[in-house]
Structure 1
Amino acid sequence: MVQYQEQQYEGINYSREDLREGEFIRCTFERCTFTNGSLEEIMTSECRFIECDFQGALLNGSIHTESAFINCNFIEANLFVSKFSNCKMTGSDFSKAKIDGITLVQGDWSYTNLRQARLEKQDLRGVRFYEADLSDANLQKADLRDCDLTRAILAHAKLQGADLRGANMDGVDFKALVVKGARMDRDQALSFLRSYGAKVD
């Protein structure tokens, strides 16, 4: 098992290395490449990954605590049953990533690309999705209470049965949503009605 602790790396190619079950503690990786790498069940704690490439990487079963993945590429990565606790993921791209069974505990997922993501029945309470692209995402029966969905793109997202109470949905296009059976608070319900031209006193 490899262990990286309080080190800084820049421009390193790890794509051919076996990093399975590795531990990464308070390290910084900048513009490093992990494409198609073996990172199953790794653990990161208070690490920073800046503009790193994880395309096609195997990260299933990995656990990340208070780490940051800024503007990283996770296209087609395997994140099955991975866990991100209080992580900062701003600007990262998860196109075609396998995220079934993922666990998100709080954290900042602003400006991320989560198009077509399968997040049904997930507990996403308090996650920040500011201006995230969740178009065509499956959020059925997801718990989105107290999320920041300000100006998030939710075009054609499936929200049937989702709990939206307390979520900030300023700037969201309600006309593009499928919200049958979703739970809303009073302010959201009023915004929904106004988006369809209703006059609410």
Structure 2
Amino acid sequence: MFQYIDQHYVEVNYNGKDLKFGELIRCTFERCTFTNGSLEEITTSNCRFIECDFSGAYLNGSIHTESAFVNCIFVDTNLFVAKFDNCKMTGSDFSNAQMDGITIFQGDWSYTNLRHTRLVKQDLKGVRFYEADLSNTNLEKADLRDCDLTRTILAHAKLHGTDLRGANLDGVDFKSINVSGARMDRDQAVHFLRSFGAKVEGD
């Protein structure tokens, strides 16, 4: 086990390195690469990762608290049972990432690419997904209450049993999604009907 505190790294190559069980506190990594690295059960706290590449890395069981991963690449990354607590993930790409059992507690996931990911039964209350791409994502029985889904792409997402109550759905293209079986509040239902040209009593 290792511990780094208040360190700053720029363009360092950690590809394939064994970094398991490490602890990072208030560290900054800019344009560093961690491809195919072993970062299982690593913990980060108040760290910043800017334009870093985690493609093919193992981050399963890792815990991240109030850390930022801005414009990072998580293509084919193993995030099984990883936990992100109040983290900023804006602009990051999670294509083909293994996200089963992941825990996402609040935080900012705006502009992320989460296409085709599996988030079944996940508690995502209050997470900010502003303009994120959640197309073809499996969100069945997920809790999205009070999320910011402004202009989020939800085309062909699976929403059966998904709780959307209180979520901001401004700018969502309802014509591209199937809300059958989803839970919505009255205002959302009215917005949905209006998007299809219905005249709601009181209009």
TM-score (norm 1): 0.99
* 1:129 paired to 2:129: yes
Gaps of 5+ in 2: none
Partner deviation per Cα, 1:58-114 (whole Å, 9 max, x = no partner): 000000000000000000000000000000000000000000010000000000000
Partner deviation per Cα, 1:17-50 (whole Å, 9 max, x = no partner): 2100100000000000000000000000000000
Match of 1:172 in 2: 172
* 1:17 paired to 2:26: no
Match of 1:72 in 2: 72
Q: Shift of residue 16 of structure 1?
A: 2.8
Secondary structure of the 1:99 match is coil
Amino acid at match of 2:27: C
Q: What is the aligned-residue RMSD (CA, Å)?
A: 0.6
* 1:103 paired to 2:103: yes
Match of 1:185 in 2: 185
CA–CA distance in 1 between the matches of 2:15 and 2:6? 21
Secondary structure of the 1:44 match is strand
Percent identity over the alignment is: 76
Match of 1:200 in 2: 200
- Paired residues, number: 201
Match of 1:155 in 2: 155
Match of 1:38 in 2: 38
Secondary structure of the 1:194 match is helix
Q: Shift of residue 180 of structure 1?
A: 1.2
Partner deviation per Cα, 1:108-129 (whole Å, 9 max, x = no partner): 0000000011001000000000
Amino acid at match of 2:178: V
Runs of 4+ in 1 over 4 A off after TM superposition: none
CA–CA distance in 2 between the matches of 1:160 and 1:192? 16
CA–CA distance in 1 between the matches of 2:138 and 2:124? 13
Secondary structure of the 2:104 match is strand
Secondary structure of the 2:24 match is strand
CA–CA distance in 1 between the matches of 2:50 and 2:61? 22
* 1:112 paired to 2:141: no
Amino acid at match of 1:26: R
Amino acid at match of 1:90: T
Kindly indicate whether the alpha-carbon contact (under 8 Å) linking 1:161 and 1:179 is maintained by their aligned counterparts in 2: no
CA–CA distance in 2 between the matches of 1:161 and 1:17? 41
After TM superposition, the structure 1 stretch with the greater mean CA deviation from structure 2, 185-194 or 25-34, is 185-194
TM-score (norm 2): 0.98
Amino acid at match of 2:36: N
Secondary structure of the 1:9 match is strand
Secondary structure of the 2:192 match is helix
* 1:140 paired to 2:106: no
CA–CA distance in 2 between the matches of 1:198 and 1:105? 36
CA–CA distance in 2 between the matches of 1:92 and 1:16? 21
Amino acid at match of 1:172: V
CA–CA distance in 1 between the matches of 2:32 and 2:13? 6
